[in-house]
Structure 1
C-alpha cells in the first residue's frame, strides 16, 4: 500500500473519531504507532497530514546559510581543515565534518609532492617511452640494471601523516615513543645501489665528501659492471639518471667503452624518478628493512644498511622491474604526466 493511501485511511478514520491505537491495529502494522500518533496530532492542529516539511526540531546549525558559507570557505583554497571551518563558522567540529561530508559531498586527500614537469619535460618523457618500445622487447627490458643514489641519516625515516601510536591517553602515547626527535645536523651516509630482475647489487657507501664524476667512475661503475656481467653476461643495459656525475662526458665515455649497453644522457628524461624501480619501490623496501632502533651513530647506521640490503625481498625487486614497461605505457597514455603509483 502506498504512503499516500495510508495517509488517507488514517485521516478518514481519525475524522470518524477512531483513536490512534485502533487505527494502528486496523492497519496491521503498515505504519508504526508513533507515526500514527504524530499524524493524528497534525490532523488536530492543521486538519490534514502534511509531510512536505521535515519532522523533528528545525535545524539551527546546518542551515542553508551555514552550508553556503562553508562552500565559499573552500572556494579557491588548496588546504582548509575541518577545524578551521568550525572556528570560522563558530560551530562544533563534528557539525563541520557533517557539512563537509554530507552536504558538500567533499572527501579528504593527502597533499603529495612530485617533480615539477614542464611541457618540454613531458614531451621528452613520451619520447623516451616510445624509444624504449621501439628498441627493446619486453624480455630485453628484464635485462636492464637500474641504479640510483640516496642519502640516509641516523634519525631514520617515518611518515608524519600515517604513522600512529595507539594508546589510552597522551602520557601512555609518550611512553610508547609518540615523539620523533630529530637532530639539527644528523650524521649522513650516501649509498649507491643497483637492481635488476635477478637481484640486488652490492651496496656502495660514501661515508665522507661529495660524489663527483671521478669518484663515481672509480667507486661505482666497476661495481655496476661486475654486477651486470654476473647477472646477464655480456647482454644487459645500464640505467642511470641525470645527476651531474652521471652526465659528465668522462662518465658517458666510460660507460660507452666498458658496458655492453647503457641509456645515455640524451635519452633518459629529466625529473623522472617515477621511471626508476629504486625510486618507486625499492628504496622504501630498503628503508623499511632497517632496524632504526639500533641506529645511534654513523657506524651503526652503516652496519644496519649493510644488513638491510640483504633483506630486500627478491619478489619485490622482480615485480618492480617487470612492471617497468607497463609504467612506460601509462606514461604515454597520460601525456607524460608524473606517475603517482
Structure 2
C-alpha cells in the first residue's frame, strides 16, 4: 500500500488548483511534476480538496466518519477498484495488505459504490450483427413513416421460472454507483419450473399466461388461436386491427402451422424467423420484455423464498399486476 505524506497531499492539492478543479487533469499534472512518485487515482484529488474545505485538514474528520481509517487506505481502495472494477472485497484486501475485507467494503459503501451483478445474455456470433442493424433500421424507418408505429407492435417472449429463480452469479459483478436487485440461487431437492408467456404492446402488459411444458408447435398454435385473442380483449380494437406480432426464432415458433396461422392472422404484419420481417437471431435484448419486464418480475417474485409451485404461479400473477399499476 502506498502511504501519502502531508507534503505529497499538499502537492496534489496544488495540482488540483492548477487544473481548475479537473481531477483527471490534476492527476496528469501531478504525474508530470513528480514522475517518480506514486500517482493516486483521480478521485483522490477531489476527495482531498473536499476534506480540506470541509474539515481544514486532509484526513477524514473522525467524528463525522464514524470509523478510524487513514486517508491512504481509502485512496488505495478507490484506486484499486478504479483499475479493477470486477475485484472482490476479499481480493482487494489481500492485494492491499488489509486484514479485514470489511474495511474495503466500508470505503466502497461510503463512496456510493455497490456490486452490480451481471445478467446472462445470448452470445452473439459475428454474423449476427448485420441482421440486428437491419432490423433496427427497418424499425426506425417505420417510426418515421408512422410516429405511432411503436404503439402497434406486440412484443412477445417466454421465460422459465424455477423454484430458485435465476442462476447465482455472485462471483460475476462490478462495483458501480447503481445497485440492482439481487436474486440468490439455492439448491433444493424438490425442483419445479413454470413456463410463462407475456407480451407488451405500447404501455400495456398482455398476460402473463402459463404455457405447457415442453412447448411445441401444436400447443403454441393452440395458444395463438384460443388464448391470445382473450388476452387481447382489453386492447383497443383500432390497435388490434393494425397490430404487428413479434416472436423470436424458437423451434415452436418456427413450426409450419404456426407460421401459416400468423400469415393469415397478421398478413405481412408479423416479425419472426422466416416471417415478413425477419427477427435477428439471439436478440432477446431488443425487446422490452427482456430488458425490463422479466427482470422486474423476477425481483418481485423472488423477494422471499418460494414455497411451492402453486405459490410460484400465484406470485407471477401478483407481480404482473403490480408492474401494470
Same fold (TM over 0.5): yes
Q: 2:193 aligns with which of 184, 188, 194?
A: 188
* Partner residue, 1:47: none
Deviation at 1:268, TM superposition (A): 0.7
With 247-256 and 273-282 compared, the bigger mean Cα shift is at 247-256
Q: Does 1:112 align with 2:121?
A: no
Pick closer, same or farther for the CA change 1:90–1:186 going to 2, 3 Å.
same
CA distance in 2, matches of 1:237, 1:82: 48
* Partner residue, 2:298: 287
Output aligned runs, 1:1-341, within 5 Å.
Answer: 79-81=86-88, 83-87=90-94, 90=97, 92=99, 110=116, 112-113=118-119, 114-136=121-143, 137-156=146-165, 181-206=186-211, 209-228=213-232, 231=235, 232-260=239-267, 261-266=269-274, 267-290=278-301, 293=304, 295-314=306-325
Deviation at 1:298, TM superposition (A): 1.1
Deviation at 1:80, TM superposition (A): 3.9
Query: Deviations 1:102-159 (Å, cap 9, x if unpaired)?
Result: xxxxx98746343322332111100001112234423022111111111112334698
Pick closer, same or farther for the CA change 1:229–1:123 going to 2, 3 Å.
farther
CA distance in 1, matches of 2:124, 2:320: 32
Are the counterparts in 2 of residues 150 and 191 from structure 1 also a CA contact under 8 Å?
A: yes
Q: Secondary structure at the match of 1:202?
A: strand
Pick closer, same or farther for the CA change 1:196–1:155 going to 2, 3 Å.
same
Are the counterparts in 2 of residues 202 and 223 from structure 1 also a CA contact under 8 Å?
A: no
Pair member with larger Rg: 1
Identify unmatched segments of 5+ residues in structure 2. 1-71, 174-178
Q: Which has the higher contact order (CA 8 A, sep 6+)?
A: 1
Are the counterparts in 2 of residues 195 and 278 from structure 1 also a CA contact under 8 Å?
A: yes
Identify unmatched segments of 5+ residues in structure 1. 1-61, 102-106, 166-178, 315-341
Q: Secondary structure at the match of 2:155?
A: strand
Q: Secondary structure at the match of 2:157?
A: strand
Comparing both structures, which one devotes a greater share of its residues to strand?
A: 2
